[in-house]
């Protein structure tokens, strides 16, 4: 405030700051831990298992590449975003 | 979400008769909240695995607000674990896809349906606030042997 010459500009020697401290970061931490992180863990495990099963099926009978494409896409998108 | 059921009862491919699903075919079913697919990742006389794969659209869940009222808090969120964990959606899919097996109906192997055989069911993820001890209390009382591990929290 000294640097921008605030005191002179507003011709005052005092200010009052009215501040509300919102616990957003704390709240977000909780959301991350309780909802987003478990969803991420389950997604990783679940998609990997689905892909393994579908790959086995596909290699067995020349099978269902179409089914395989969706979980693979979602899984790769997640991996790439990390 | 994936549920696999494996047997080593011989011939293991008879599990196809019990489930009413041909091991050589991949079948898809429409259910209220998405698609269910049944296929066999492993087919052999010694071991055979049937897989039930659920494809749930989490955005459609939020927009359509399907599911039980108990889930409504979670289903209001676009980021939710429902597509990836065993939940009531899986129960609904099991009842719909494996309904006749659950009733013990099988046209071709009625004597096998009456026989106790070794079955292993695997699911990749289940949310459980009570942790491992709660899971064990639920299933071991019913005669299941339970193997589980806690997944690390995703750092992504």
Q: What is the 3-state secondary structure (H, E, C) of B15-70?
A: HHHHHCCCCCCCEEEEECCEEEEEEEEEECCCCEEEEEEEEECHHHHHHHCCCCHH
pLDDT computed for residue B80 by the predictor: 84
What are the pLDDT digits (tens) for B96-124? Answer: 999 999 999 888 899 999 999 999 999 99
Residues B41 and B114 in one domain: yes
Distance (Å, rounded) from C-alpha A4 to C-alpha A25?
30
pLDDT computed for residue B32 by the predictor: 85
Distance (Å, rounded) from C-alpha A54 to C-alpha A52?
6
Domain that holds residue B68: 2-125
- B147: number of CA atoms within 13 Å, CB side? 4
The single-letter DSSP state of residue B113 is H
pLDDT at residue A38 tops 80 = yes
**A51 close contact with B: CB closer than 8 A:** no
**A31 close contact with B: CB closer than 8 A:** no
What are the pLDDT digits (tens) for B2-57? Answer: 999 999 999 999 999 999 999 998 999 999 888 999 999 999 999 999 999 999 88
Coil, strand or helix at B117: coil
Residues B104 and B56 in one domain: yes
pLDDT computed for residue A81 by the predictor: 65
Give me the residue label for tokens 């009531």. B88
Residues of A in contact with B85 (CB under 8 A): 42, 46
pLDDT computed for residue A15 by the predictor: 92
Task: Lowest mean pLDDT of A55-59, A63-67, B62-66, B93-97, name the range.
Answer: B62-66
Helix (H) or strand (E) holding B119: strand B119-122
CA distance A18 to chain B (A): 34
Residues B119 and B142 in one domain: no
**pTM for the complete prediction?**
0.81
Which residue in B127, B137, B126, B132 sits closest to B147, CA to CA? B132
Residues B71 and B145 in one domain: no
Residues B118 and B133 in one domain: no
CATH number for the domain including B98? Answer: 3.30.1610.20
Residues B71 and B110 in one domain: yes
Which residue in B37, B29, B85, B38 sits closest to B61, CA to CA? B85
CB contact under 8 A, B84 and A42: yes
Residues B45 and B56 in one domain: yes
Residues B42 and B115 in one domain: yes
CB contact under 8 A, A60 and B42: yes
CB contact under 8 A, B154 and A67: no
* A65-80 helix and A37-61 helix, angle to the nearest 10 degrees: 150
Residues B88 and B47 in one domain: yes
pLDDT computed for residue B8 by the predictor: 96
Taking residues A36-40, report their average pLDDT: 90
Contact in structure between B60 and B33 (CB atoms under 8 Å) = yes
Residues B67 and B112 in one domain: yes
Residues B113 and B141 in one domain: no
**Band of residue A36 on the pLDDT scale cut at 50, 70, 90:** confident
Number of domain units in chain B: 2
The single-letter DSSP state of residue B10 is S
CA-based diameter of chain B, in Å?
50
Give me the residue label for tokens 């987003």. A36
Task: Lowest mean pLDDT of A11-20, B29-38, B77-86, name the range.
Answer: B77-86
Taking residues A8-24, report their average pLDDT: 85
pLDDT at residue A74 tops 80 = no
Coil, strand or helix at B98: coil
Taking residues A32-41, report their average pLDDT: 87
Give the best residue of A45, A65, A72 to mutate against chain B (max B CB count within 10 A): A45
CA-based diameter of chain A, in Å?
84
**A48 close contact with B: CB closer than 8 A:** yes
Residues B96 and B150 in one domain: no
pLDDT at residue B69 tops 80 = no
- Chains A, B: CB contacts within 8 A come to 95
Beta bridge partners of B53: B2, B37
Q: Which strands, in side-by-side order, build the sheet including B2-7?
A: B27-31, B34-43, B48-56, B2-7, B119-122
- The ipTM value here is 0.84
pLDDT at residue B73 tops 70 = no
């Amino acid at each position: 405030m000294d640097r921008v010459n605030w005191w002179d500009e507003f011709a005052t020697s005092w200010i009052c700051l009215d501040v509300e401290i919102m616990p957003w970061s704390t709240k977000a931490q909780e959301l991350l831990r309780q909802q987003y992180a478990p969803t991420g863990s389950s997604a990783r495990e679940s998609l990997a298992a689905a892909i393994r099963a579908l790959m086995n099926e596909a290699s067995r009978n020349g099978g269902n590449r179409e089914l395989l494409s969706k979980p693979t896409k979602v899984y790769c998108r997640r991996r790439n975003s990390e | 979400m994936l549920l696999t059921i494996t047997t080593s009862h011989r011939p293991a491919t008879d599990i196809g008769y019990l489930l009413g699903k041909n091991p050589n075919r991949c079948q898809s079913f429409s259910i209220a909240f998405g698609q269910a697919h049944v296929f066999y990742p492993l087919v052999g006389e010694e071991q055979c695995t049937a897989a039930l794969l659920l494809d749930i659209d989490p955005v459609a869940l939020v927009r359509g607000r399907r599911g039980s009222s108990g889930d409504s808090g979670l289903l209001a969120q676009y980021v939710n674990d429902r597509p990836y964990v065993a939940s009531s959606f899986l129960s609904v899919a099991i009842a719909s896809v494996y309904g006749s097996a659950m009733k013990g109906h099988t046209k071709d192997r009625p004597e096998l349906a009456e026989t106790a055989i070794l079955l292993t069911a695997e699911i990749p993820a289940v949310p459980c606030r009570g942790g491992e001890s709660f899971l064990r209390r639920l299933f071991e009382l019913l005669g299941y042997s339970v193997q589980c591990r806690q997944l690390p929290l995703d750092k992504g």
